[in-house]
A = this chain, B = another copy of it.
Amino acid sequence: MTADLVTLSLEEGFDLAVAAFLANGCDRRNAEAVARNMMRAEGDRCASHGLFRLPGYLASLKSGKINGEAEPKVIDLAPGAVKIDGDGGMAPVALEVGRDPLAEKAQTNGIAALALTRVHHFSALWVEVETLCERGLAGFAFTAYKPVVTPGGGTQALYGTNPMAFGWPRPGKDPVIFDQASSAKARGEIQIAARDGHEVPPGTGIGPDGEETTDPNAILKGAQLPFGGYKGANIAMMVELLVAGLIGEWFSFEAAEGDKEDGGPPRGGEFMMAIDPARFGDADGWAAHCEAFFERFQAIPGTRLPSARRYKNRGETPETGVVIPKALFDKITEMTAA
């Protein structure tokens, strides 16, 4: 361990997060739900959705934007649709409440959807999709953010980074899950390039003048480009319509207008869908059929199934623990004591 880094066991990381949340206005249920989600990310070495997010959450708890004692409510919308009113809290506690109703509806109806409203979202989507896959279901999840990405052909930000996750169950094996932003690059990568004085690759974003640039500072003042040009922009638009238009939550542009700019996640919605493969094709044979497909995939040199690297990390971190910057550790400690 160098002087700039701190190694924590997964339990120590969880306890650190819970203590910080409890000291900043959370009840135990909210604190533990978010800490669990965060440590799932840390355990898979997805540092960008781990303890890195804690100071932002704490800032929004301090500012009063986030309700640390949220009591999410289940609202039955239709035989295949359930809504969780997040009561102004953090997404993970509301999602824990929504898991079982969503899965049960999917098993009964073949397909079901979950609308998550009045939450603040800063968490990895794959964590929740994985809980569906563990129940033998395929899952989708979508969420928005504040405007940082341009529509296709446009020169101003309208969409959030708008991630979309999809997971496919493999009975007896780890599910295949991808979780990807609609932007060409993660915002964090651009922020790190700006901090370190590096250029970013062409296609990452535009400056305030609307022209493409490789200067990360200009892009942070301008806008990010979607992945794959207008096709990625269409995905970003679809996400806005699902997580805001469909379920009656804020579009990214509304989230920005209503935000306190305290550094934490804005208010927004999440939309999920779950599908039961046992109700569609061959109830006994679908999993083996898919394994034949994954075998073909893995026989192609240079490929790796989405999430394979996470599962490898997951096998290691219970032994190795996780490493976070000492500056982050100190900041969390300070925000816990204050």
Contacts and interface: CB of A to CB of B under 8 A. Distances in A.
A77 B290 contact: no
A78 B283 CA distance: 13
A14 B296 CA distance: 42
Nearest to A277: B246
Nearest to A279: B78
B232 A280 contact: no
Interface residues of A, number: 72
Contacts of A237: 176, 178, 297, 306
B109 A249 contact: no
Interface in A266-323: 273, 275-277, 279-282, 285-286, 289-290, 292-293, 296-297, 300-304, 306
Contacts of A245: 168, 277, 281, 286, 289-290, 293
Interface in A148-197: 150-156, 158, 166, 168, 176, 178, 180, 184
A65 interface: no
A83 interface: yes
A234 B78 contact: no
Contacts of A180: 231, 234
Interface stretch (A20-28, A54-62, A111-119): A111-119
A280 B228 contact: no
A170 to B, nearest CB: 10
Question: Chain A binding site: helix, strand, loop or mixed by DSSP?
Answer: mixed
A108 interface: yes
Protomer copies: 2
A148 B288 CA distance: 24
A66 interface: no
Contacts of A111: 78, 80-81, 111-113, 273
B231 A232 contact: yes
Nearest to A168: B241
Given A154-B300, A246-B277, A248-B286, 19 more contacts: A77-B280, A78-B108, A78-B110, A80-B111, A81-B279, A111-B111, A115-B280, A154-B302, A154-B303, A168-B245, A227-B232, A245-B286, A245-B290, A246-B281, A248-B280, A248-B281, A248-B289, A253-B293, A273-B273
10 contacts: A80-B111, A110-B112, A138-B242, A151-B300, A156-B300, A158-B300, A180-B234, A235-B235, A241-B293, A248-B280
